[in-house]
Structure 1
Amino acid sequence: MSLPHWQYFLSIEEDLLRCSRYVEFEKSNFSTYSVEFARIIVAASAEFDSVAKILCKAINPGANPQSINAYHPIITSKYPRFLEYTILVPSMKLEFQPWKEWTDSAGPGWWSKGYNKIKHERDKHFAAANLENALNSVAGLLTGIAYLYDATYGEIPKLNLASAPKLLEPHDNPDAPNQSAVWWSCEVWK
């Protein structure tokens, strides 16, 4: 089984983890911005865009969504708890629900005021290339991949320890009894 989106995610996550050597991953530093965070946000968000298109096709083969707003009703029709999916950064005691604010008419703030502003108007909105948006964009990508693999394979493929994330992991939520905080053995919320 080929997992190209997973390998790309691991590469992006590794770049984000490397940033923790220079900026402490804590809420007081969430507004810290940099070129490296811009690169991570753009890469993770663009990859989510690709993953979401494939996920939408897996859910509804006749669908041809072309924007973040068009993905929302398709994804949430099959996975109503997608917006609640929680990603942890256990080593830094941080928790994210990257898609919590997503609606049919607007992406979450890190997407619309972060990724889109960085992508289209970086000269005016460079401060949007910040730690908080970087963490949310990578967590958002991890969420998308989890659901893509569930839709494509009926489960998240078992991964060995070497292929496990080093920074992020899904939250072990009591409402999702089959989900483990250990990525390589977890199942997606339904």
Structure 2
Amino acid sequence: MQQNLFFPVYKQLEKELDELSYFITFDKKQLKTYSIKISELLLRTVSEIENISKELCKREKIKFYDKNKHIRKVVYFNDYFEKLEDLFLLSKKYVSFDLDNCNENIFDVKLVPFKKDKTYTLNGKTKSIWSWYYAYNKIKHDRVKFFRYANLECLIKALAALFLLNIYYLNKTFYSENSYDTDYILEKIEGFSKIFSVDYTMAISDDERISPNLKDTFFNPIEFFRIGRESSTYLLYSDYVIRTSSDEAADMLDKLEGSVHLFNSETHTLRKKYDNYQYTEHTTQCKLVAKLNREIDVQK
């Protein structure tokens, strides 16, 4: 199994942000606080964002072409993001900031780290960018002049963005095979981080209908779940078939069994044990499954 070179780095950055909260009071009035340590953490965090975005595109087998349909040698972060946005709708995903050692009202709403919240003018044209990425570029190229841009708010948003990308890179599916154990599933979803958490909702298909005994309630529960799909990183499915690690192992054993040869000691030849071995792909029916929300799921 290939070593994950990204999540341990994220966890270290998360630890350092937590430690920073013991030296800087994390509340709304302090969000524009800047320092050498914040600057250093921001540079490391956004550098990780660029790297993991590149690897995510590689894993999804995304290629980048120039106007002559040749593979591009130079690809920029914005190019990676556009492809990942198509797959995961990152600009709509909510991330909650749950750090214990901070004012609970530090942010009025949940973070949407990939929503472009900064406008600037370049060559007479108004452009939009993420505030944390704008700050990163400024201090990377001229730290002395733009030192104040490396503030606490940009750092928290950048780390939230890195957290979200790490969840998609980890690509975890959680399941409860024999019971509708929602607590177990939610514990897994919320277990990635001590300071951030993502949204999740039930996966509802377009042909779902409201039960007659719910018609007089003040909101449509199915529509409630459907609205939440877009901003949720995980979708929860009930009575769903998946391929577990055990299924994959069973498939491998089947293939090994089907390739067995027998040795004839008289003729000194080998022959297949089975002339027509039938392979069956193993799957598991689960009561509850949590899967990463991809844009293809949102459109179902």
For Structure 1 versus Structure 2, the TM-score category normalised by the shorter chain is 0.7 to 0.9
**Where does the alignment leave 5 or more consecutive residues of structure 1 unmatched?**
none
The 3-state SS of whatever aligns with 1:169 is: strand
Aligned ranges 1:43-54 → 2 under 5 Å? 43-54=44-55
> Which position in structure 1 is the counterpart of 2:141?
120
The amino acid that maps onto 2:129 is G
Quote the Cα distance in structure 2 between the aligned partners of 1:59 and 1:155: 17
Aligned pair in 2 of structure 1 residues 107, 67: CA closer, same or farther (>3 Å)?
A: farther
Between the two proteins, the alignment pairs up a number of residues equal to 178
2:95 aligned partner:
87
Q: Which deviates more, 41-50 or 2-11?
A: 2-11
Instruction: Pick the aligned partner of 1:97 from 112, 120, 124.
Output: 112
Query: Over aligned residue pairs, what C-alpha RMSD do you find?
Result: 3.0
| Structure 1 residue 135 corresponds to structure 2 residue 194 | no
- 3-state SS in 1 of match to 2:24: coil
Deviation at 1:15, TM superposition (A): 0.5
Query: Offset of 1:133 from its aligned partner?
Result: 0.7
C-alpha separation between the residues in 2 aligned to 1:138 and 1:88?
A: 12
Matched letter for residue 76 of structure 1:
E
What is the aligned partner in structure 1 of residue 79 from structure 2? 70
Q: Which has the larger radius of gyration?
A: 2
Change (3 A) 1:141 1:100: same
Deviations for 1:36-88, whole angstroms, at most 9, x for unmatched residues? Answer: 111111111000100000111222343366212111221122122x1112211
CA contact (8 A) 2:53 2:81 kept: no
The verdict on how the C-alpha distance between 1:45 and 1:125 changes in structure 2, with shifts beyond 3 A counting, is same
Alpha carbons of structure 1 residues 25 and 186: separation in structure 2 relative to 1, 3 Å: farther
Amino acid of the structure 1 residue aligned with 2:144: D
- The structure in which a higher percent of residues are helix is 1
Maintained 8 Å contact 1:155/1:187: yes
TM-score normalised by the chain length of structure 1: 0.79
Tell me how far apart the structure 2 counterparts of residues 55 and 164 of structure 1 sit (CA, whole Å): 18
Question: Which whole-Å deviations, capped at 9, do the CAs of 1:77-133 have from their partners, x for residues lacking one?
Answer: 2122x111221122343431110118xx75312102x11111111111101111001
Percent identity for Structure 1 against Structure 2: 20
Contiguous gaps of at least 5 residues in structure 2: 65-71, 118-126, 175-184, 202-224, 237-288, 295-300
After superposition, the C-alpha distances for 1:130-179 in whole angstroms (9 at most, x for unaligned) are 100110111111111122233xxx648x998xx84222222346524745
Q: TM-score normalised to the size of structure 2?
A: 0.52
Deviation at 1:186, TM superposition (A): 6.4
What does residue 111 of structure 1 align with? 133
Counterpart amino acid of residue 75 in structure 1: L
Whether contact under 8 Å (2:6, 2:52) holds in the other structure is yes
Counterpart residue identity of residue 88, structure 1:
S
Alignment-mate amino acid for residue 96 of structure 2: L
- Distance, in Å, in 2 between the alignment partners of 1:10 and 1:164 is 9
Structure number having the greater strand percentage:
2
User: Contact 1:59–1:78 at 8 Å: present in 2 too?
Assistant: no
**2:23 corresponds to 1:22:** yes
Residue equivalent to 1:188: 292
Gap change, CA 1:137 and 1:66, over 3 Å in 2:
same
